[in-house]
Amino acid sequence: MCATRKSRMQARARKCLPMMFGAVIFLSGPVAAQDITAASIEAMDFVPLSSWKLPEPRHPKTNPYRKERVELGKKLFFDPLLSGNGKMSCATCHNPNAGWSDGLATARGHEGKVLARATPTIVNVAYNTILMWDGRAPNLEKQALGPVTNPDEMANTRRNLLKTLRAQPEYVAAFEKAYPGIGITRSTVERSLAMYQRTIVSRNSPFDRWVAGDEKAVSANVKRGYLLFVNPDKGNCAICHQPPSFTDNGFHNIGLASYGSKNPDQGRYKQRKVPVARGAFKTPQLRNISETAPYFHDGSARTLEDVVRHYAKGGVATSNLSPNMRIGKLTDQEIADLVAFLKSLTGRIGGKNKTTVASQ
Amino acid sequence: MRCKAIVVIVALFLAVPAMAAEHTVIQKNLKFDQPMLTIKKGDKVFFVNKDGVTHNVFSATPNSEFNLGKFNPGSRKLVELGEVAVVDVECSIHPGMNMTIFILQNWRKKLDKAVSMVTE
């Protein structure tokens, strides 16, 4: 009994040896990039690489995946008929050719009106447990008609939307096929739009391939950048951009210059009257981020390097800085490595994503 | 045998003097370790942050409002909840982290009532 346990322990120690060796190399001085591997990271006390493996998105029980409904959702998403004046679709701002955002600092809505906040991408929105910069929508179904009926955005009304759709024989037929016996209702429009958005998924970026075990999927800079991203004494980015979808679904004031203006956007405070929520905005997910410049809720950072430099200097208007924003000193090389890491998060949209939590 | 065990458990139960009990709720991995907690009026509830992240535990439930402010990793804070109520607790930084505390006047009486309802 005792002998077997001993030999088992020896075997385990032998298995651990290369990992321990890796850790010693890391701790004994600057790491040569070729030494950074999934195994050497596991041996460190950082967020392990395996925790970033992104599962297929799940469709909720109340809105289970159906192919016809996704197709219908896609048709609605790209159709300007949904707006009050027939000129804007969801895709006007969530443009697939601009990373499912609009490339603008802040959005442009009805009749070109410049809005207060940037258009968030809908890439990987399926993984969010709370939506909008201020978290005012609990799920995609409840969010779907928000921009459609907002007078500053698509400027339609629910009644007019349903009336317009019901007047189109094509939609009547498509809804009947997708929702037999129910047809065009507020709920079926919301469910279709939500379900389609849950299929806009990125989970095959070079970084994702590295997570899956391909050590050659990313460059040495990216690997160094990853260590800076998760190291609490360096970038400390993963404290909010948590695995696996690079968000804590939380709200933070990151000390943007705009918070120092006369009447700053209070963000989350509108929803939760707690001091820490003043000027706090939702932590965005980061996959495909290289496609969605400019950055931050106010579009104040032009490039990813600007973003990293903002954090590296500890923010600008810091009167209500998030207690979680604690960043170590970063050299120019380290900033470049972090940017290289962020750029490795961009993948192709698509793949199978038909998982439903429970079938009905 | 089983009967004896039950008698012993019940005896132990009754032997506990009627005093304010202490409860601990742990914050870990952006979650509270218990989604629901039932306490007696006057009991103490301690919150402990075992995450590497700063939290902000608060409640906006009318007459039971509290805000524990910036709640750093490793710290422990006390909440004394005076009134009989159902109190919703949330982290204002990570709203997915939420729980409910049920404060009862005399939870043993309520428990007895619940047990008798089940057995009937």
- The conformation of residue A329, written as its DSSP 8-state character, comes to -
CB contact under 8 A, B70 and A276: yes
pLDDT of B73 over the 50 cut: yes
B37 to chain A, closest Cα gap in Å: 23
pLDDT at A357: 46
Q: Which of A297, A298, A293, A282 is nearest to A131 (CA)?
A: A282
A247: nearest CA in chain B?
B94
Is the pLDDT at A227 greater than 90? The verdict is yes
Interface test with A, best of B29, B75, B92 (most A CBs within 10 A): B92
Distance in angstroms (rounded) separating the CA atoms of residues A180 and A258 = 50
Rounded Cα gap, residues A349 and A307, in angstroms: 24
CB contact B96 to A (< 8 Å):
yes
Flag whether residue A11 sits within 8 Å of chain B, measured between CB atoms. no
Q: Partners of B47 in the beta sheet?
A: B25, B77
Query: φ, ψ for residue A283 (rounded to 5)?
Result: -70, 115
- Contact flag A276-B72 (C-beta cutoff 8 Å): no
Chain A environment of B29 (Cβ under 8 Å) = none
Integer CA distances (angstroms), A9 to A16, A21, A23, A287, B61, in order: 10, 18, 20, 41, 53
Chain B hits for A272, Cβ within 8 Å: 60, 90, 92, 95
Beta-bridge mates of residue B102: B38, B86
Please name the helix (run of DSSP H) or strand (run of DSSP E) that holds residue A149, with its range, or none. Answer: helix A146-149
Tell me which chain B residue has its CA closest to the CA of residue A324.
Answer: B54
Residue A244 contacts B, CB cutoff 8 Å = no
Task: Locate the chain B residue with the closest alpha carbon to A240.
Answer: B53
Is residue A244 helix, strand or coil?
Answer: coil
Return the number of CB contacts < 8 Å for A and B: 52
Smallest Cα–Cα separation from A130: which of B30, B34, B8? B30
For residue B102, give the 3-state DSSP assignment: strand
Phi, psi of A285 (to 5 degrees): -70, 165
Instruction: Identify the helix (H) or strand (E) that includes residue B23.
Output: strand B22-28
Q: Tokens standing for B118?
A: 């089940």
Residue A244's closest CA among A47, A44, A99, A46?
A47
Tokens 């909720």 -> residue: A60
Q: How far is B53 from chain A (nearest CA, A)?
A: 6
Give the residue carrying structure tokens 């820490």. A276
Q: At A137, is the secondary structure helix, strand, or coil?
A: strand
What residues of chain B, 46 to 75, have a C-beta less than 8 Å from chain A?
Answer: 52-54, 56, 58, 60, 67, 69-70, 72
A276 touches chain B (CB under 8 A): yes
Task: Please indicate whether residue A153 or residue B115 has the higher confidence score (pLDDT).
Answer: A153
Classify residue A63 by burial, with Cβ atoms within 10 Å: 0-12, 13-18, 19+.
Answer: buried
> Would the pLDDT of A25 be above 80?
no
Among chain A residues, the shortest Cα distance to B94 is held by A250
Distance between first and last Cα of chain B: 24
pLDDT beyond 80 at A17: no
Whether pLDDT at A301 is above 70: yes
Taking the Cβ of residue B95 and every Cβ of chain A, the question of whether any pair is shorter than 8 Å is answered with yes
Q: What is the pLDDT of residues A95-146, one digit of tens each?
A: 999 999 999 999 999 999 999 999 999 999 999 999 999 999 999 999 999 9
Query: pTM here?
Result: 0.85
* pLDDT value at A21 more than 60: no
Choose from B61, B90, B94 for mutation: most chain A CBs within 10 A: B94
How far is Cα A186 from Cα A205, in angstroms, rounded to an integer? Answer: 36
Map residue A9 onto helix, strand or coil: helix
Q: Which of B30, B52, B92 sits opposite A276 (nearest CB)?
A: B92
pLDDT at B19: 72
Of the listed ranges A32-41, A330-339, A350-359, B86-95, the one predicted with least confidence = A350-359
Cβ-based neighbours of B49, under 8 Å, separated by 6 or more: B27, B55, B71, B72, B73, B74, B75, B76
Kindly give the interhelix angle for A220-230 and A332-343, rounded to the nearest 10 degrees.
100
Task: Give me the mean pLDDT over the B61-88 stretch.
Answer: 93
| Mean pLDDT, all residues of chain A | 90
B4 close contact with A: CB closer than 8 A: no
Give the DSSP letter string of B28-61: ETTEES-SEEEEETT-EEEEEE-SSS-B-EEE--
CB B57 within 8 A of CB B45: no
Least confident range from A31-35, A222-226, A265-269: namely: A31-35
The two tokens of residue A168 are: 């189109």
Cα–Cα distance between A2 and B58 in angstroms, integer? 52
Partner residue opposite B56 with nearest CB, options A232, A239, A274: A274
